[in-house]
Amino acid sequence: MTDVQTQRFRGGADSQRNATSGPPARYLIAAGVAILVLVAAVSQIPSATTAGESESTASSNRLLPVRTIELTSITELETRHTFTGVVEPARTSQLGFERSGRVLELLVDEGERVEADQPLARLDTQALEIRSRELEAKRLEARAILAELRRGPREETIAAARANVEQFQAELELWTVTCSRNDRLRQNDAITEQQYDNARLNMSAARARLSAAKSQLRELEEGTRQEQLDAQDAVVAQLDANLALVETDLEKSVLRAPFAGTISKRLIDEGTVTSATATVFELVDTDHLEARIGLPADVASRLQPGQEKGLRKGTQHLAGRIRAVRPVLDPVTRTQVVIIDIVDDASRQTVPGEVVRLDITETGDADGFWVPLSALAQGPRGLWSLYAVDPASADAQAAEANNARVERRTVEVVHTEEDQALVRGTVYDGDRIVVNGLHRIVPGQLVRVVDDSIDGESPSMPTNLKRHSG
């Protein structure tokens, strides 16, 4: 009983003690735990904010860096078209002798420069020289005869003719008297009829001789007839012409340069018997060169003789002047040939056969934007695409970090020049497009814009074109 009561008493005392001290202890413990949790939470707020910022920065650094440019539209375009031609000498001659003969001497060879009228080759002229001496002798003879005819007969010849007239006059008188005497004798039958006829016929013969002598005397006294002078003049002229022909053949036996230039070919050697149609040398005028360039008819129609046009030979620039535009199309190339004289001193460094280029600039209306070729990505159905960046499509935090999302814009390539292309399509003034790393970009991707241009500059049009902003 005592033990039981003692236990109960202890138990009751403990219960009373616990009931008196329990509630305040629990409250204190809970309050302390709450304070500790609150302090820990407050202490963790700055570290969480710093970690978030670090994570955001790391994520931004992991984005693909891209370069962009701002598009500016154009309204006019000057396009350069390049046409190719060949340099040719202004004059090219196939030189040969104008007569046949054996080549005696060649005075120049291939590659040598010659001046106008310089001897180039000679033919054997021995036969011509002999013929020339023969004709000269005949001409001297003919001229002597002509001089004699012009002077007329000598006085001695006229005197002899006059003496003949007097002689024949005397004979006629003698036979006249004889005939009269014989006539009287015949009537008296003193002579025969034969004797009378002889006297009569001799008188007639004497009269004829006298008439001839008088005619000859008159001819001598009147001098040479004009017809004889004209005939002898013709003989002399014919001999002069024959001699001049021989002299011409002698001159043509020497081949001379028709103009200053360079011997490009030698086709025969000494000792060759050449004909009048055979070519001995080819001579080119290297002092005056020209370029022959085929142009479309619409381009050639805008060119006029006398216009200054520059030519390009590799990296060298040549000054040129249009000399002529052929009025017909080439049947093979369907182009008009424009002949351009090379007029500056640099032409002496240019040789026939070299290739030159002519640049023709045309101005026309245009509607589009110049972009680098590196900004173009191939799209479907033969079209091309540009990747535009749109900062507005990114969240505020990404926009503050200079990040933007990529959008695909479909464009059409209108013209290309060097490393740039003229495009038009779903792009507008002020749009920014990506110009590098397109193979790593897909539409909707978030990228980091590191620069607004390539090498810090906005792309310009090709150096040989002019861009006019609208």
3-state SS track over the chain: CHHHHHHHHHHHHHHHHHHHHHHHHHHHHHHHHHHHHHHHHHHHHHHHHHHHHHHHHHHHHCCEEEEEEECCEEEEEEEEEEEEEEEEECCEEEECCCCCEEEEEECCCCCCEECCCCEEEEECCHHHHHHHHHHHHHHHHHHHHHHHHHHCCCHHHHHHHHHHHHHHHHHHHHHHHHHHHHHHHHHCCCCCHHHHHHHHHHHHHHHHHHHHHHHHHHHHHHCCCHHHHHHHHHHHHHHHHHHHHHHHHHHHCEEECCCCEEEEEECCCCCCEECCCCCCEEEECCCCEEEEEEECHHHHCCCCCCCEEEEEECCEEEEEEEEEEEEEECCCCCCEEEEEEECCHHHHHCCCCCEEEEEEEEEEEEEEEEEEHHHCEECHHHCEEEEEEEHHHCCHHHHHCCEEEEEEEEEEEEEEECCEEEEEECCCCCCEEECCCHHHCCCCCEEEEEECCECCECCCCCCCCCEEEC
Bigger pLDDT: 207 vs 223:
207
Q: Which CATH number is 113's domain given?
A: 2.40.50.100
Is residue 402 one of the residues assigned to a domain?
A: yes
The model's pLDDT over 172-197, given as tens digits with 9 standing for 90+, comes to 888 888 888 888 888 887 788 888 88
In this prediction, residue 364 carries a pLDDT of 81
Task: Give the C-alpha distances (Å, rounded to integers) separating 205 from 110, 179, 277.
Answer: 86, 12, 70
pLDDT band of 349, cuts 50, 70, 90? confident
Instruction: Quote the CA–CA distance of 192 and 198 in Å, as a whole number.
Output: 10
The answer to whether residue 4 scores a pLDDT higher than 50 is no
Residue 245 shares a structural domain with residue 133: yes
Q: 126-134 — which CB contacts under 8 Å span 24+ positions?
A: 128/246, 128/249, 128/250, 128/253, 129/250, 131/246, 132/243, 132/246, 132/247, 132/250
Residue 356 shares a structural domain with residue 411: no
> Of 148, 130, 138, whose CA–CA distance to 235 is shortest?
138
Q: pTM value?
A: 0.56
> Of 239, 268, 284, which marks where a domain is finished?
284
pLDDT band of 470, cuts 50, 70, 90? very low
Is residue 174 one of the residues assigned to a domain?
A: yes
Is residue 458 one of the residues assigned to a domain?
A: yes
> Of 345, 360, 375, which marks where a domain is finished?
360
The answer to whether residue 33 scores a pLDDT higher than 90 is no
Q: Which tokens in the block code for residue 196?
A: 């009378």
Is residue 31 one of the residues assigned to a domain?
A: no
Is residue 55 one of the residues assigned to a domain?
A: no
pLDDT band of 397, cuts 50, 70, 90? low
The model's pLDDT over 35-71, given as tens digits with 9 standing for 90+, comes to 665 655 544 444 443 444 444 444 555 788 999 999 9
The model's pLDDT over 119-140, given as tens digits with 9 standing for 90+, comes to 999 999 999 999 999 999 999 9
**How many domains does the chain divide into?**
4
Q: Which CATH number is 343's domain given?
A: 2.40.30.170
In this prediction, residue 382 carries a pLDDT of 75
Q: Which CATH number is 454's domain given?
A: 2.40.420.20
Residue 310 shares a structural domain with residue 272: no
Q: Is 17 left (phi over 0), alpha (psi -120 to 50) or beta?
A: alpha
Residue 309 shares a structural domain with residue 457: no
Is residue 278 one of the residues assigned to a domain?
A: yes
> Of 343, 360, 377, which marks where a domain is finished?
360
Q: Which residues contact 56 (CB under 8 A, 6 or more apart)?
A: 397, 401
The answer to whether the beta carbons of residues 68 and 372 sit under 8 Å apart is no
Residue 132 shares a structural domain with residue 244: yes
The answer to whether the beta carbons of residues 127 and 293 sit under 8 Å apart is no
In this prediction, residue 158 carries a pLDDT of 80
Strand 64-70 and strand 446-451: pairing?
parallel
The domain of 262 spans: 93-123+256-284
Residue 150 shares a structural domain with residue 237: yes
In this prediction, residue 38 carries a pLDDT of 63
Is residue 389 one of the residues assigned to a domain?
A: yes
Mean pLDDT for the stretch of residues 306-330: 92
Residue 136 shares a structural domain with residue 226: yes
Residue 111 shares a structural domain with residue 260: yes
Residue 116 shares a structural domain with residue 261: yes
Handedness of CA 296, 302, 307, 309 (dihedral sign): negative
Sort 36 into a burial class: Cβ within 10 Å, 0-12 / 13-18 / 19+.
exposed
The answer to whether the beta carbons of residues 405 and 449 sit under 8 Å apart is no
In this prediction, residue 100 carries a pLDDT of 93
Instruction: Quote the CA–CA distance of 32 and 52 in Å, as a whole number.
Output: 30
**Looking at 131-135, 199-203, 304-308, which range is the least confident one?**
199-203
Residue 150 shares a structural domain with residue 245: yes
Is residue 414 one of the residues assigned to a domain?
A: yes
Residue 71 shares a structural domain with residue 104: no
In this prediction, residue 25 carries a pLDDT of 59
Residue 263 shares a structural domain with residue 240: no
